[in-house]
Copies of this chain bind each other. A is one copy, B any other.
Amino acid sequence: MRISSRGQYGIRALVVLAGRHGRGPTQVREIARVEDLSAKYLEQLLGRLRTGGLVRSVRGARGGYVLARDPVAITVREVLLLLEGSLAPVGCVDEGGTCGDAAGNACVAHPLWRGLHATVLGYLDSFTLADLVPVAAPVEAARAAVPAPAADELVTAATRG
C-alpha cells in the first residue's frame, strides 16, 4: 500500500506551483531547491504531469511550469493517477482486470478490493491542491512558520467523510 516517491514528490511540486499560481512560471530548479529534490528527477515527473494536462510549460529564458488549472480544480486523485499509473489495490479491480476462475466467477476477495479502491479514490478526490498550500489565503505568499492548525481539522473531516 505504498505511494511511491513519484507521487509524493509530484504532490509537493504541484503544491509549490499552487502557492504561486497566477504569478508566472516557476522553474524546475526553483522547485527542486525549495523542496530539496533532485531537479533531474523532478523534470521527469513534471513531464508526465504536462502530458497529462495538469501543468503547462513555458520554454526559453524566464520559462518554467504553471498549473494548467486553478488549484481548487485539481484533485490529489488526478495527480496520483498520472504519476502512479493506477490506484487499484490489485490488478483485478483495474481497467480490464480479470480474476475469474475457469467458470468466470470473480475471486472471493473481489468485493473487498473493489471497496478499498472506491474508498481510496473517494478520499483522494476530497483533497485539492488548494487544500494543501500551507496558508489559507491563496493570494498571500507562504511565510508560515506556524504548523497550520487548520490542517488537522482537514484530516479528521476527511477521515470521517
Contacts and interface: CB of A to CB of B under 8 A. Distances in A.
Interface of A: 1-3, 8, 11-12, 15, 36, 76, 80, 84, 86-90, 101, 103, 105-116, 118-120, 122-124, 127, 132-134, 145, 147, 151-152, 154-156, 158-159
Contact of A15 (B80, B108, B134): B108
Contacts of A127: 112
A138 to B, nearest CB: 14
Work out how many copies of this chain go into the complex.
Answer: 2
- Main DSSP-derived SS at the A contact region: helix
Given A1-B89, A90-B2, A132 B120 contact: no
Given A1-B88, A115-B154, A109 B132 contact: yes
Contacts of A115: 123, 154-156, 158-159
Contacts of A8: 90, 109
Contact of A147 (B88, B105, B120): B105
A31 to B, nearest CB: 13
Contact of A116 (B12, B15, B84, B120): B120
Nearest to A123: B119
A97 to B, nearest CB: 12
Contact of A151 (B3, B76, B111): B111
A2 B1 contact: yes
Given A1-B89, A3-B113, A119-B119, A107 B12 contact: yes
Given A1-B84, A112-B132, A115-B155, 6 more contacts: A1-B87, A8-B109, A112-B155, A115-B156, A119-B119, A119-B159
